[in-house]
Chains A and B, each alone.
Chain A
Amino acid sequence: MTGQPAFVGARAAEFRAAFDRTFAEPIRIETARTTDLLAIRVAGDRYALALAQVAKLLGGPRVTPVPGPVAELVGIASDRSVIFPVYDLGRLLGREASEGAPYWIVVAAGPVAMGFAFDGFDGHVRVRNDAIVARPPGDAGRRFLREVVETPAAALPLIDIPSVIESIEATVRGAASGKER
């Protein structure tokens, strides 16, 4: 029993020292050689998102269901007075729909605010650029998963958010042109 407080105190001291050391050392920006990623879970499988393609990460937002021309549309949500549609990322990837309301939403970076809901968030991952490799040509059938990230834990398929947005916009345009005719 006497060892546990010492263990906790040591961990706290280690955290404090690391935090203090960060501010004591000179600033080193290595953005040119690394890529920041978000490790997520969709329908039980792990995927990766490029942090550069993400505008915001939301945990537990309120999604209001609304009808729409796209079947993967879950509803609409708001953040800081900005209203944006939310799509089910799992269904967009061709997986089964998530059971219950999704907890995590990423807002895509770009001129149009658009959210994608998924099941779990494993954390932030920073990898070297050479750890991101293109998928083999024979495996190009999965149009939104063009690259693979080699992490120390596992190889994660990298979801290409712009291609997903483009697909949604094409579907919306197709639906709108159908109505005009």
Chain B
Amino acid sequence: MVGNWSFGRKLGTGFALTVFMTVVMGVVAAYSLQDVSFHLDRAVVVEAPQILDAERLQTATVRQAAAVRGYLLDPDVRYTQRLSDARTNFAGLIARFRGYVRTDEGRRQVENLARLESDYREAANKVIALRRNHTEASPFAKPFDDEVLPKQQQLSEAIEAFVKREQGQQVEATKAATGAASSAIVLVAAIAAVVVVFAVILATFLTRLLSRQIGSAISHVQSSSAELQAASNQQAGGAREQATAMSEITTTIGELLATSRQIAESAQRVAQIAEQTAGAADNGDGTVTKAYESIAAIQRQVELLVGHMLDLGKKSQQIGVVLEIVSELAEQTNILAINATIEAAGAGEIGGRFAVVADEIRKLADRVAESTKEIRGLIDDVRTAVNTTVMTTETGSKAVEAGSKQFAEVTNAFKKIAGLVSTTTDAAREIELSTKQQASAIEQVNTAVSNIAQASKETESSSTQTQQTASELAGLSNALLQLVRPQKAA
């Protein structure tokens, strides 16, 4: 868990623990000092003034006795005044002690002192009254010795005991302060020792942990610096290649710019030619329309020709029928002539002349038959020619019809061409505009590429600097490694 902490967290935690221990030690020391101060204050601030006040009680008692004695010797008002001041002083001190004392024994002693002082005051007042009424010493000497002096002695002894008591309390307070100081010294020393041990352990732990991690990190830094050096070498090479490529790209873009301008000029010429083509297409449309009308007229003439040819074929068939009749007649004539020849031969010499006629009729019939064959051949040729002509004419008619359809398609095509040429004109203008925009863009690209080339050169120089920095970083990492792991570095 601790291994995943950052250096700052580890160091901060160590310092926080150390500070915590130091704070604990300081708190304990402060508490001990406060305890020592309390006891010292009790010994110096509380007990010492009480001792002084107790001494002042003794002094006030002595002053009362001196004032009583002086008045007895010389009943002057001056002594009564001193006596009054001393009594007032004593009463004030008693009042202060009543504020000081906290224990029952102390209160009892203070009240005892007040009672003894009151007894002493009554006895002294009696003697002073005797002195005020008598001038000789005999009437008040004896009361003075019997009553005043013992009470004075009791009061002095009580004050003395009270002073001793106060002094004993001061000694106890002083001893308590000394003991508290000794305890504080021991406790602070122990805590300091614990803090020192903890600090040493923490320092050792952090040193080992940080040395291990920093050493590993430095190793990584070394390898990374080596990789960075190699990468910077590659980057420098790449930057040089990029600079070269950018130079070539700049040249190419220049050529591209020139080409774009040529394209723009060509597109402009294309637009002009497209406009001329549109005019030519319109003229061609008119010409094609006229040609279409001419072809329609040719088609009508061809259909008329086909009709005539079909009539001719029918007439040829009729001629053939007539010719069949003629051929039949010639054949019958031939048969008759042959039979006449036979009959003439049977008639002997009488039928000789008839035989001649019959022979001539047979010859004529033969010739008619031959001529009929020739005419049949001619008619067949005519019919074949008519059929061929009709078929050819029908083929031509179909071709003309197809041509007419094709001309209609051509007309539509011309219209489409005119529309497309218009579209081409618009497209050529758009191409011209786009090419100009492209040229402008290419100029911007050229500028950008120049900037990139400059940046590549700067990258090359920065790569060199990076390479140097990587070398310095490698040296620094070696130095750091020696600092962290001197035994390994040695």
- The answer for the CA separation of A124 and B341 in the assembled complex, in Å, is 10
Q: Quick one: closest B residue to A4, CB to CB?
A: B378
Q: Is the interface of B mostly helix, strand, loop or mixed?
A: helix
Q: Quick one: closest A residue to B336, CB to CB?
A: A57
* Residues 1-53 of A at the B interface (beta carbon under 8 Å): 4, 11, 15, 18-19, 22-23, 27, 29, 31, 36, 38, 51-52
- The answer for the CA separation of A31 and B352 in the assembled complex, in Å, is 9
- The answer for the CA separation of A23 and B355 in the assembled complex, in Å, is 12
Q: Return chain A residues, CB-CB under 8 Å to B366.
A: 123-124
Q: Does B388 contact A (CB under 8 A)?
A: no
**B87: min CB distance to chain A, Å:** 195
* A59 with B339, Cβ < 8 A, contacts A15-B364, A124-B362 known: no
Q: Return chain A residues, CB-CB under 8 Å to B339.
A: 56-57
* A29 with B352, Cβ < 8 A, contacts A11-B371, A22-B360, A52-B345 known: yes
Query: CB-CB contacts of B346-368 with A at 8 A, as 1s and 0s?
Result: 00000011011000101110111
Q: Does B160 contact A (CB under 8 A)?
A: no
Q: Return chain B residues, CB-CB under 8 Å to A52.
A: 345
Q: Does B334 contact A (CB under 8 A)?
A: yes
Identify which of B341, B352, B363, B367 contacts A36 (C-beta below 8 A).
B341
- The answer for the CA separation of A18 and B356 in the assembled complex, in Å, is 13
In the complex, how many residues of chain A place their beta carbon closer than 8 angstroms to a beta carbon of chain B? 23
Q: Return chain A residues, CB-CB under 8 Å to B362.
A: 124
Q: Does B335 contact A (CB under 8 A)?
A: yes
Are A59 and B331 neighbours in the complex by a CB distance under 8 Å?
yes
Identify which of B342, B353, B363 contacts A51 (C-beta below 8 A).
B342
Q: Does A55 contact B (CB under 8 A)?
A: yes
Are B364 and A19 neighbours in the complex by a CB distance under 8 Å?
yes
**A177: min CB distance to chain B, Å:** 34
* Residues 45-101 of A at the B interface (beta carbon under 8 Å): 51-52, 54-59
- The answer for the CA separation of A48 and B436 in the assembled complex, in Å, is 104
* A51 with B331, Cβ < 8 A, contacts A27-B353, A27-B356, A124-B366 known: no
Q: Return chain A residues, CB-CB under 8 Å to B345.
A: 31, 36, 51-52
- The answer for the CA separation of A58 and B371 in the assembled complex, in Å, is 23
Are A57 and B335 neighbours in the complex by a CB distance under 8 Å?
yes
Q: Does B338 contact A (CB under 8 A)?
A: yes
**A104: min CB distance to chain B, Å:** 9
Are B356 and A51 neighbours in the complex by a CB distance under 8 Å?
no
- The answer for the CA separation of A54 and B340 in the assembled complex, in Å, is 12
Q: Does B332 contact A (CB under 8 A)?
A: yes
Identify which of B342, B356, B368 contacts A54 (C-beta below 8 A).
B342
Are B334 and A123 neighbours in the complex by a CB distance under 8 Å?
yes
**A82: min CB distance to chain B, Å:** 14
**B interface, size bucket:** 20 to 34
- The answer for the CA separation of A59 and B353 in the assembled complex, in Å, is 25
**A44: min CB distance to chain B, Å:** 20
Query: CB-CB contacts of A90-131 with B at 8 A, as 1s and 0s?
Result: 000000000000000000010000000000000110000000
Q: Return chain A residues, CB-CB under 8 Å to B337.
A: 124
Identify which of A15, A22, A51, A109 contacts B367 (C-beta below 8 A).
A15
Q: Quick one: closest B residue to A25, CB to CB?
A: B356
Q: Return chain A residues, CB-CB under 8 Å to B364.
A: 15, 18-19
Are B338 and A57 neighbours in the complex by a CB distance under 8 Å?
yes
* A51 with B338, Cβ < 8 A, contacts A11-B371, A59-B331 known: yes
Q: Return chain B residues, CB-CB under 8 Å to A123.
A: 334, 366
**A76: min CB distance to chain B, Å:** 20
Are B371 and A22 neighbours in the complex by a CB distance under 8 Å?
no
- The answer for the CA separation of A16 and B337 in the assembled complex, in Å, is 17
Are A59 and B352 neighbours in the complex by a CB distance under 8 Å?
no
Q: Return chain B residues, CB-CB under 8 Å to A27.
A: 352-353, 356
Are A51 and B335 neighbours in the complex by a CB distance under 8 Å?
no
Identify which of A11, A18, A31, A124 contacts B338 (C-beta below 8 A).
A124
**A24: min CB distance to chain B, Å:** 12
Are A59 and B338 neighbours in the complex by a CB distance under 8 Å?
no
- The answer for the CA separation of A18 and B360 in the assembled complex, in Å, is 9
Are A22 and B356 neighbours in the complex by a CB distance under 8 Å?
yes
- The answer for the CA separation of A29 and B367 in the assembled complex, in Å, is 22
Are A59 and B335 neighbours in the complex by a CB distance under 8 Å?
yes
Q: Return chain A residues, CB-CB under 8 Å to B367.
A: 15, 18
Query: CB-CB contacts of A129-152 with B at 8 A, as 1s and 0s?
Result: 000000000000000000000000
**B331: min CB distance to chain A, Å:** 7
Q: Return chain B residues, CB-CB under 8 Å to A58.
A: 335
Q: Quick one: closest B residue to A126, CB to CB?
A: B359
Are A59 and B360 neighbours in the complex by a CB distance under 8 Å?
no
Are A59 and B341 neighbours in the complex by a CB distance under 8 Å?
no
- The answer for the CA separation of A32 and B368 in the assembled complex, in Å, is 29
Q: Return chain B residues, CB-CB under 8 Å to A59.
A: 331-332, 335
- The answer for the CA separation of A52 and B343 in the assembled complex, in Å, is 10
Q: Return chain A residues, CB-CB under 8 Å to B363.
A: 18
Name 6 extra pairs, CB < 8 A, besides A23-B360, A27-B352: A15-B364, A19-B360, A57-B338, A59-B331, A59-B332, A124-B362
Q: A residues engaging B (CB < 8 A)?
A: 4, 11, 15, 18-19, 22-23, 27, 29, 31, 36, 38, 51-52, 54-59, 109, 123-124
- When A and B form their complex, which 6 residue pairs have the shortest distance between CB atoms, in order from nearest? A22-B360, A29-B352, A57-B338, A59-B335, A57-B335, A56-B339
22 cross-chain CB contacts under 8 A: A15-B364, A15-B368, A18-B363, A18-B364, A19-B364, A22-B356, A22-B360, A27-B352, A27-B356, A38-B338, A51-B338, A51-B341, A51-B342, A56-B342, A57-B335, A57-B339, A57-B342, A58-B335, A59-B331, A59-B335, A123-B366, A124-B366
